[in-house]
Amino acid sequence: MSTNRTAADAEGADPAEPAVAPAEPGEGTAAGQRVVELLWDPPAPSARGRRPKITLDEVLDAAMALADEEGFEALSMRALARRLGVGAMSLYTYVPGRDELFELMIDRAYAARTRSQASQGWRQRYIHHAEQALAMYRRHPWLVHANLWRLPPGPRVLTISDDLLAVGRDAHLPLGEAARVSELLESYIFGIARGEIADAAQASRTGESADEHWAARASVWERYFDPARFPSLFATWNSGFYDRAHDDQADLHFALDLILDSVERLVASTEV
């Protein structure tokens, strides 16, 4: 049974999750075991008896569509049930709870990402993963609510994790270094996506663009900003950097190239 009920579930008085019997020793919790089974061996539609009104695939499709359209905060078992036209309690026959549902959604979203081409150099393969990850977050903004250190151990997530490690291994990095580079790359892209999505959400909530936000606070520069106290900020401002036209792709690759240049030095050090 999920022990981490969220505010989105509590609001609207979602029905309590049904009790689940303990799992066998060494297999984790019952809910954990259940979500692993759903990730790897989801039940096939029965050929006998009465056909279920909905399938697990339809539950996941509806959950992702709900989160895409209305945001992660709108995702609750009750809201999902309304979208599907079923009772909220019936959803617990498909997933143990909202947290486990989210795990299934994450793994499903990772299906859009593919392994890199082994024929390409390691640098281009890392770029492939960075660009695909950012595209995935932009397609499904709710993914920034995931915990990178607790991603679901599903086949799609593990496929990408394995390929990222393979890139490092093919570059002759020690396994530990390959793992660190993989984590650094994914964390960097996650941070970019989270910033973009948070800014878009604030603009939608307030009705202010970024330029309008800063224009509304323009008095700080005349009344409080002291060039002698903040000389580097003042010099950068006067250089026109903050007035430049933003190029998301150029900004992405500027930092990505710095990361990969460091990896290149690391690769070279292992070849000595």
Which CATH superfamily hosts domain 7-109? Answer: Homeodomain-like (1.10.10.60)
Q: Say if residue 69's pLDDT is above 60.
A: yes
Output the pLDDT for position 17: 53
Q: Where in the chain is the domain with CATH 1.10.10.60?
A: 7-109
Q: Where in the chain is the domain with CATH 1.10.357.10?
A: 113-270
Architecture of domain 113-270: Orthogonal Bundle (1.10)
Alpha helices for the chain (secondary structure H): 7-10, 30-40, 56-70, 77-84, 88-91, 98-109, 122-139, 155-170, 175-206, 210-216, 219-223, 231-238, 248-270
What pLDDT, in 10s, does the model give residues 122-146?
999 999 999 999 999 999 999 999 9
Output the pLDDT for position 61: 97
Q: Which of 142, 1, 130, 15 is nearest to 68 (CA)?
A: 142
Token pair listed for 50: 């009465």
Q: Say if residue 2's pLDDT is above 50.
A: no
Phi and psi at 38, nearest 5°, equal -70, -35
With bands split at pLDDT 50, 70 and 90, how would you rate the model's confidence at 32? confident
Output the pLDDT for position 30: 83
What pLDDT, in 10s, does the model give residues 177-216?
999 999 999 999 999 999 999 999 999 999 999 999 999 9
**Mean pLDDT, to the nearest integer, of 55-72?**
97
